[in-house]
Amino acid sequence: MFTKYIENFLTEEECKSIIDLGNSTELTQMKSSRFVNGKLVDENLEYDGNKRMGSYFTDKLLDLPILKSLTSKIITLSNELNPYNGIVYNGVPKYSFNRYGEGDFLDWHSDNHEIINGATITYIIQLNDEYEDGEVKYKINDIEYSIEKKEGSVFIFDSNLLHSVNKIKDGFRYSMNVWPSKTIRKTLI
């Protein structure tokens, strides 16, 4: 199972710019999808396991200098890490901006909602660290791990990996999720 944690992926200034951009958008209650036997059966569900506000950066927002620069960094890093032989990462179709306030959390899940759109890896970009609790957790072979809270850090992992965000006790947690798009490299035999 692929995982990678990197500190200082973004600068303090870049994090602040993205938080300001996210807070300038219309933040709504984030929704969830339900899968049965690997098939999407319902989407845009409100349920008790997903309590956070957010928005998506798509379309014209992707042309903003801060997001164009971030997209370039993500594509470069994804291809340098080369987690899956034969895949070339080539773009970012959207960013998911998240704001968790006091009492907000996200239950254990994998990113099936993005895997059906072709995702292989997930990025969680930590935009701040001035809040209480709210750690990102993940499981491999039923062993639970925590990710260090550090502004500007990124946790990259296989989109099938079970992960969660613990309940926020105080303050606001800002993060962004990204699922880079890809092509499959053809090989000649």
| Pairwise CA distance, residues 122 & 124, whole Å | 7
- Mention every residue, 6+ apart, whose C-beta is less than 8 A from residue 151: 12, 15, 126, 127, 128, 129, 130
| Pairwise CA distance, residues 130 & 170, whole Å | 9
For position 45, what pLDDT does the model report? 47
| Pairwise CA distance, residues 187 & 86, whole Å | 8
Low-confidence ranges of the chain (pLDDT < 70): 31-50, 186-189
pLDDT in tens, 118-141: 899 999 999 999 999 999 999 999
Instruction: Give the N- to C-terminal CA distance of the chain in Å, as an integer.
Output: 28
Q: In Å, what is the CA distance from 123 to each residue of 41, 47, 155? A: 25, 23, 6
For position 29, what pLDDT does the model report? 76
For position 49, what pLDDT does the model report? 58
Q: Three-class SS of residue 101?
A: coil
For position 42, what pLDDT does the model report? 53
For position 185, what pLDDT does the model report? 74
For position 85, what pLDDT does the model report? 86
| Pairwise CA distance, residues 129 & 135, whole Å | 10
| Pairwise CA distance, residues 96 & 118, whole Å | 16
- Mention every residue, 6+ apart, whose C-beta is less than 8 A from residue 94: 56, 57, 58, 62, 179
For position 113, what pLDDT does the model report? 82
For position 100, what pLDDT does the model report? 95
**The two structure tokens encoding residue 133:** 């609790």
| Pairwise CA distance, residues 145 & 59, whole Å | 35
Q: Three-class SS of residue 75?
A: helix
